[in-house]
Amino acid sequence: MINIYEVAETNEMIEKENLDVRTITMGISLLDCIDADLKRLNEKIYQKIYESARDLVRTGEQISREYGIPIVNKRISVTPIALVGAAACRTPQDFVGIANTLDKVAHEVGVNFIGGYSALVSKGMTPAEEMLIRSIPQALADTERVCSSVNVGSTRTGINMDAVKLMGEVIRQTAEYTRQQDSLGCAKLVVFCNAPDDNPFMAGAFHGVTEADRIINVGVSGPGVVKTALEKVRGENFEVLCETIKKTAFKVTRVGQLVAREASQRLGVPFGIVDLSLAPTPAIGDSVADILCEMGLEYAGAPGTTAALALLNDQVKKGGVMASSYVGGLSGAFIPVSEDQGMIDAVAAGALTLEKLEAMTCVCSVGLDMIAIPGDTRAATISGIIADEMAIGMVNQKTTAVRIIPVIGKGVGETVEFGGLLGYAPIMSVNDFSCDGFVNRGGRIPAPIHSFKN
Amino acid sequence: MKRAIITVVGKDTVGIIARVCTYLAENKVNILDISQTIVQDYFNMMMIVDIGNMAGQYGDMVDDLEKLGQEIGVSVKCQKEEIFDQMHRI
């Protein structure tokens, strides 16, 4: 039987170390809503989402209360809208109409984000996909809760450089359209390489076409728990360090598995995956950078950071895999800048640069995340940054992503405040030597060779 | 058997266990095990209870116990047992 010390440990994690389930995300397929008539399409989308997810928030709160574990977000991901709207949409404005429908239903069912305003164009773009991409700035300016993502590359197809070039322009335009809110629109827009179909985390979540009609995916978190566990083994060797991370990750993931199973059962929706991620928040003590510091770095970004992060990422997976029957999504440590107090401090101290962040993305999940850059950064430079990050994902057979925010009207040294879970960030300097000639070539970068690995 | 774990943490005062137990008895919740310690003047108690035959809703009990804790000035939490089982048992 459970003893008092085990109970105390669990409750300590929840109360003092910010252990929580970061999100329950319901994936909903909209393929059966496809209609050539735009009005009917919007009605069907609204109906399907509303009927599928109306109990999602209430169920999440119920589970949270019964087990005493906070479930921070309840969210929805849908089939990439470029596919769903292809038959009905004739102009980018038609797609914006669908974004408004998504926003409306998100408010109605009470979820704080809905993901899937997306296009998968890793090899080529259909006219509908291009229209959707061109509609993103307006869609994100018009809506509050809609999140958008575009997959522009994969290990099997290479990188669609036409899409990369376009995304540089789209990100700039999104920043312009939302300049009154410090270019907040860009915080809801992710560019991916090897995007997973079952990611529960925003802003990059969408419900892939390989998925079932409806599915429950859960994202766990708990950087604070790992940090506290590591405080107890300060100065010990790597073996002890790794064991401690693994054990902690196991415990954290088991909670996610429990919540996922319960939610799936109560909602009558099959369980998909648990995403084993260390997702930080701006709250003090809920930071991935603090774990790196606890391992012995003065700041995140100091020499040794990439190795420390590689170790952390791998041990989290090793511990988590055994704790859950199905693992998926992004699964790894997130290193967003604005959402992690330790990362913000590292940037402010001058320890962490964009280039170091890029190196870190080679060994952990996601990529250049929530990074504020000067508002006068040119579209081609943004495309160059995207291309670099996509190349890392393509060659290393992993997911990488770019979510950067050119903050219109602000420059290096200034700070931008996004509020809530999105946090705040010092604006980082960008290497602004030109890459126009490279970005403007047009076409694709071919898929890499899968042998002769060195 | 459906079980829940009740934890009480706070400054030690007279009648904490009595109040909690009275509430449980009134709601037909059977106590299976109690353990307690006092760490640096702080009262730390854990109860394993059977909620299989309880009167009323489990969710209401969570709220009632929390309110009761606020009245006495301690923190009272009630959580289903699975969360601890999952975390600490393979």
Mean pLDDT of chain A: 94
The span from the CA of A81 to the CA of A205, in Å, is 12
Does the distance separating the beta carbons of A3 and B35 come in below 8 Å? yes
The span from the CA of A241 to the CA of A237, in Å, is 6
**Structure confidence at residue A185 as a pLDDT band (50, 70, 90):** very high
End-to-end CA distance of chain A: 51
Residue A104: pLDDT over 80: yes
Per CATH, A25-193 and A218-438 having the same topology is answered yes
Mean pLDDT of chain B: 90
pTM: 0.92
The phi, psi pair for A267, rounded to 5°, reads: -90, -10
pLDDT tens digits, one per residue of A228-248: 999 999 999 999 999 999 999
Going from N- to C-terminal start, the domains of chain B cover 3-88
CB-based burial of residue A415 (10 Å sphere; 0-12 exposed, 13-18 middle, 19+ buried)? middle
The span from the CA of A323 to the CA of A283, in Å, is 26
Amino acid at position A375, single letter: G
What pLDDT score was predicted for residue B14?
86
Question: CA nearest A14 in B: which residue?
Answer: B83
List, in order, residues 6 or more apart from A379 with CB less than 8 Å away.
A168, A169, A171, A172
Q: Does any CB of chain B come closer than 8 Å to the CB of residue A68?
A: yes
pLDDT tens digits, one per residue of A11-51: 888 888 888 999 999 999 999 999 999 999 999 999 999 99
Asked if the A218-438 domain carries CATH number 3.20.70.20, the reply is yes
Q: At what angle do helices A56-67 and B58-72 cross, to 10 degrees?
A: 50
Contact residues, chain A, for B37 at CB < 8 Å: 4
Contact call for residues A1 and A49 (beta carbons, < 8 A): no
Question: CA nearest B59 in A: which residue?
Answer: A66
Domain covering B3-88, topology: Alpha-Beta Plaits (3.30.70)
Contact call for residues A1 and B4 (beta carbons, < 8 A): no
- CB contact residues (below 8 A), chain A span 224-243, against chain B: none
List, in sequence order, every residue forming a beta bridge with B78; answer none if it has no partner.
B6
Percent of chain A residues past pLDDT 70, beyond the cut: 100
What pLDDT score was predicted for residue A292?
95
Does the distance separating the beta carbons of B82 and A10 come in below 8 Å? no
Q: Does any CB of chain B come closer than 8 Å to the CB of residue A16?
A: no
Q: Across A93-162, where does the E strand assignment appear? A: 113-120, 146-154, 158-160
Question: CA nearest B45 in A: which residue?
Answer: A4
What pLDDT score was predicted for residue B90?
84
Residue A282: pLDDT over 90: no
The secondary structure element, H or E, covering residue A214 is strand A214-220
Does the distance separating the beta carbons of A255 and B86 come in below 8 Å? yes
The span from the CA of A218 to the CA of A374, in Å, is 34
Cis peptide before A203 (omega within 30 of 0): yes
Q: What is the largest CA-CA distance in chain B?
A: 39
pLDDT tens digits, one per residue of A136-160: 999 999 999 999 999 999 999 999 9
* Averaged pLDDT in 10-residue chunks for chain B of 90 residues: 90 87 93 87 89 90 92 92 90
Question: CA nearest B80 in A: which residue?
Answer: A67
Going from N- to C-terminal start, the domains of chain A cover 25-193, 218-438
Q: Does any CB of chain B come closer than 8 Å to the CB of residue A3?
A: yes
- The whole-angstrom distance between B52's CA and the closest CA on chain A is 14
Question: CA nearest A7 in B: which residue?
Answer: B84
The complex's ipTM works out to 0.87
Second-level CATH architecture of A25-193: Alpha-Beta Barrel (3.20)
Contact residues, chain A, for B76 at CB < 8 Å: none
Contact residues, chain B, for A1 at CB < 8 Å: 33, 48
Q: Which residue has the tokens 């479930």?
A: A71
pLDDT tens digits, one per residue of A294-328: 999 999 999 999 999 999 999 999 999 999 989 98
What pLDDT score was predicted for residue A279?
87
